[in-house]
């Protein structure tokens, strides 16, 4: 039995935040029904679309979900969603601020339809505060929350992170809030509205940067490149190897002493770098000493030597190397699945429960593929469904 067996989730989301939240819930066994506009989720049509017109991003985040096409701007479409909400456990949405209320489908309206419903909202800045209601995307939140200003090198421009960390961190936070609300409902019998903002979800990741800023009274550089965000650990960097790069960090004096044995460099006897404080004050010297050694070895040799000495390290892998990594393959976080239509690649589950198997992902469904079946489950007759289609409400 899956952890969320019997739980029905409505996904009224676009892009990454809500879809990743509901992907996690689907992998835990929830029946996720994705509600799309008549035109479909915009991410269906990105340039990475394959022969059937569905983008790989959409496939990754919507496999294993059923899909219904509803025009939420129409009164008939709004009634369909209300009927769907009456039998659902959770509704997850990250539409533009105020959109659900304008459709008459906000929390106050839907709780009247189903007092047990949990409504989960992903927003840019939350429902209160000076920025409440402002639209936001991953890039704009990175700009507004110092993620970009703390990413990159001190003498370079601000840089966005490679992955969409804001959307996915917020999606994970939102899934946690949903699970907490489901647990509380077992005691109270009532649903509730849970909310996660993109800004709130990403700010905790700046803990080291904020600590460094306060501790240095604002003297610490905002962008530290590959060095520690709070400039509080050294060595801590990506070091050049003979064939690439390797990351090395020594969070304690014990780690540093073990590294000095490997370095076999008289420069490590300098009393200025005998303790962590001194090493952080002389980071350029530390990096110079370490780099003299790393350049003499391949990145995999370095990784092997450092691991043997119990020093935190990792070779910097490329994206192709990651996709071919045997550990990634065994963990099945990226899945290639074969069905009657051939093979497709999608996300597996990062969640493992010893007594609750995760669900095998299915191919992302075509736009509106499950509309008739879902409407039938809601009690609509064949004539009703035909009328809804005629009116273009679905």
Domains of the chain, earliest start first: 8-203+337-391 (3.40.50.10540), 227-316 (3.30.1540.10)
pLDDT at 331: 93
Query: Distance between CA atoms of 337 and 94, rounded to whole angstroms?
Result: 29
Query: Distance between CA atoms of 245 and 237, rounded to whole angstroms?
Result: 10
Q: Pairing state of beta strands 118-123 and 334-339? A: unpaired
Residue 384: active-site member = no
What tokens does 105 get?
């489908």
pLDDT at 357: 80
Collect all residues with Cβ–Cβ distance below 8 Å to 157 and sequence separation of at least 6: none
Query: Distance between CA atoms of 199 and 169, rounded to whole angstroms?
Result: 10
Could you list the beta-strand ranges (E) of 172-297.
Answer: 193-197, 236-241, 244-249
CB 103, CB 109: distance < 8 Å:
no
Collect all residues with Cβ–Cβ distance below 8 Å to 168 and sequence separation of at least 6: 16, 20
CA distances from 6 to 9, 21, 86, 121, 216 (A): 10, 18, 15, 22, 53
pLDDT at 228: 94
What tokens does 394 get?
């679905």
Q: In the chain, which residues have pLDDT < 50? A: none
The dihedrals phi and psi of 277, each to the nearest 5 degrees, come to -60, -45
Q: Pairing state of beta strands 334-339 and 342-347? A: antiparallel
Please state the pTM of the whole predicted model. Answer: 0.92
pLDDT at 51: 65
Query: Distance between CA atoms of 386 and 38, rounded to whole angstroms?
Result: 16
Query: Distance between CA atoms of 140 and 148, rounded to whole angstroms?
Result: 10
- Condensed to tens digits (0 to 9), the pLDDT of residues 298-320 reads 999 999 999 999 999 999 999 99
pLDDT at 335: 87
End-to-end CA distance of the chain: 33
How much of the chain is helix, strand and coil, in % rounded to 5? 45, 15, 40
The dihedrals phi and psi of 352, each to the nearest 5 degrees, come to -125, 120
Collect all residues with Cβ–Cβ distance below 8 Å to 20 and sequence separation of at least 6: 61, 167, 168, 171, 172, 175
pLDDT at 45: 85
Name the 3-class secondary structure at 125.
coil
pLDDT at 339: 84
pLDDT at 379: 95
pLDDT at 11: 98
CB 375, CB 76: distance < 8 Å:
no
Query: Distance between CA atoms of 8 and 179, rounded to whole angstroms?
Result: 13
Looking at 52, 167, 200, 372, which residue is catalytic? 167
């Amino acid at each position: 039995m899956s952890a969320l067996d019997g739980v029905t989730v409505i996904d009224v989301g676009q892009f990454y935040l809500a879809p990743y939240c509901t992907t996690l819930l689907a992998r835990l066994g929830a029946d996720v029904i994705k509600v799309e506009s008549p035109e479909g989720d915009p991410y269906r049509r990105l340039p990475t679309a394959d022969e059937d017109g569905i983008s790989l991003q959409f496939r990754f985040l919507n496999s294993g979900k059923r899909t219904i096409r509803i025009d939420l701007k129409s009164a008939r479409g709004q009634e369909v969603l209300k009927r769907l909400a009456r039998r659902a456990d959770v509704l997850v949405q990250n539409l533009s601020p105020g959109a659900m209320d304008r459709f008459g489908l906000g929390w106050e309206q839907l709780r009247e339809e189903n007092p047990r419903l949990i409504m989960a909202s992903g927003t840019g800045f939350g429902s209160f505060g000076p920025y409440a209601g402002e639209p936001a995307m991953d890039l704009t939140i990175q700009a507004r929350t110092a993620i970009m200003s703390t990413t990159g090198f001190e003498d370079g421009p601000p840089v966005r992170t490679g992955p969409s960390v804001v959307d996915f961190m917020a999606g994970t936070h939102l899934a946690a809030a949903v699970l907490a609300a489901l647990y509380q409902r077992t005691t109270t019998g009532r649903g509730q509205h849970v909310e996660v903002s993109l800004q709130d979800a990403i700010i905790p990741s700046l803990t080291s940067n904020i600590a460094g800023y306060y501790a240095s009274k604002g003297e610490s550089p905002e962008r530290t490149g590959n060095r520690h965000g709070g400039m509080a650990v050294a060595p801590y960097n990506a070091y050049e190897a003979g064939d690439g790069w390797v990351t090395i960090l020594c969070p304690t004096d014990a780690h540093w002493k073990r590294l000095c044995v490997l370095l076999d460099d008289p420069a490590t006897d300098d009393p200025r770098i005998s303790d962590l404080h001194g090493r952080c004050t002389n980071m350029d010297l530390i990096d110079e000493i370490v780099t003299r050694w790393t350049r003499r070895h391949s990145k995999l040799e370095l990784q092997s030597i450092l691991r043997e000495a119990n020093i935190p390290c990792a070779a910097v892998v490329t994206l192709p190397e990651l996709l071919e990594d045997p550990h990634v393959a065994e963990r099945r976080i990226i899945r290639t699945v074969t069905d009657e239509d051939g093979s497709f690649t999608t996300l597996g589950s990062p969640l493992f429960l010893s007594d609750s198997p995760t669900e095998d992902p299915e191919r992302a469904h075509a736009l509106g593929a499950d509309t008739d079946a879902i409407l039938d489950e809601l009690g609509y007759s064949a004539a009703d469904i035909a009328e809804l289609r005629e009116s273009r409400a679905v």
